[in-house]
Amino acid sequence: MEFHTPGRPEDLPPFDTLWSRAAALAALEAGGSRNQHAYAGAVVHHDDRGGNEWRLARIEGGRGVLVGADHECDDHTDIEGYDPYAGPGWLPWTWFTELENKREQGFAYWWDGTEWARIAYPDLIDNDGLNLLLPHLCTAEAAVGRVLDFLDVGSSTEESREGSVLVHRVLGLAETGTGTEEEWREALDGVLGFAARQNSEYVAPEEDAFDVAPALAVVRATGLVKGSEAAAKPAGNGRPEGWVPRLG
């Protein structure tokens, strides 16, 4: 999949697809297979520790929000009046305030239950960073590659073939939402066991406890286990009067 620059709403897969992949990677991270994704409070957060990050939040009512910033594509955040949040009233304004008090966000996309949208960008924005931050979640194959890259698994090797099958199993359960807790436990155990055997800078057995329990807790909380319900942030009730980005 190719991204436009700047990004467009149609560049993104449907929210539930994006959520399932992001949540699956966060579950593996929680279990010990590091890949720079973490889950907490109805949000999956990706942070590469180099000034580039995004957050995907589930909002009640079958809606969602994606916000983020890439340090190479954030000059426009200094433009007076730039407001990526000029969207519907149900957006999570309290959460946006918390984010803006930490860092200006370079983009905001929202899912209304049917499609993605964002503000109409002024011509001076040539790239919002979406093409740099999201490609690894736009296909299942790319998501698998992300996990294996962090395990330093070479391509076209027996290890890559074994790892690909195992990670695809996790992503398949995530995207279909039909996996029972026992099926999830088995699939997560397969990937975490594989990860523990790899020789990678991101695998330090003396520090990392490869444990299915915290990974399983994430798939439950994110609604990936059959019959579970994902946690969601409350929807806003109209943009607060006078609310502008960067309140802090």
Spatial neighbors of 53 by CB under 8 A, at least 6 apart, are 45, 46, 47, 68, 69, 133
Spatial neighbors of 33 by CB under 8 A, at least 6 apart, are 147, 150, 151, 191, 192, 195, 210
pTM of the model: 0.94
Residue 14 lies in a domain: yes
The pLDDT score that the predictor gives to residue 209 is: 74
192, 146 contact by CB (below 8 A): no
Q: Is 236 left (phi over 0), alpha (psi -120 to 50) or beta?
A: beta
Residue 246 lies in a domain: no
**How many Å apart are CA 221 and CA 204, to the nearest integer?**
27
Residue 222 lies in a domain: yes
Map residue 199 onto helix, strand or coil: coil
Q: In the predicted model, what is the mean pLDDT of residues 50-63?
A: 96
Residue 3 lies in a domain: no
Residue 17 lies in a domain: yes
**pLDDT tens-digit map of 185-243:** 999 999 999 999 998 877 766 656 789 999 999 999 999 999 999 999 999 999 999 88
Q: In the predicted model, what is the mean pLDDT of residues 40-63?
A: 96
Strands 37-40 and 107-111 turn out to be unpaired
The confidence band for 248, taking pLDDT boundaries of 50, 70 and 90, is: very low
R_g (Cα) of the chain, nearest Å: 18
- How many domains are contained in the chain? 1
**pLDDT tens-digit map of 62-94:** 999 999 999 887 677 677 778 999 999 999 999
Task: State in Å, rounded, how far the first CA of the chain is from the last one.
Answer: 37
CB count, 10 Å around CB of 154?
10
Residue 106 has pLDDT above 50, yes or no: yes
Domain that holds residue 115: 9-240
**pLDDT tens-digit map of 121-175:** 988 899 999 999 999 999 999 999 999 999 999 877 889 999 999 999 999 999 9
Residue 214 lies in a domain: yes
**How many Å apart are CA 66 and CA 63, to the nearest integer?**
11
DSSP 8-state class, residue 62: T
Residue 158 lies in a domain: yes
Q: CB-based burial of residue 32 (10 Å sphere; 0-12 exposed, 13-18 middle, 19+ buried)?
A: buried
The pLDDT score that the predictor gives to residue 7 is: 94
The pLDDT score that the predictor gives to residue 71 is: 87
Residue 165 lies in a domain: yes
Residue whose entry in the numeric block shows the structure tokens 């195992």: 166
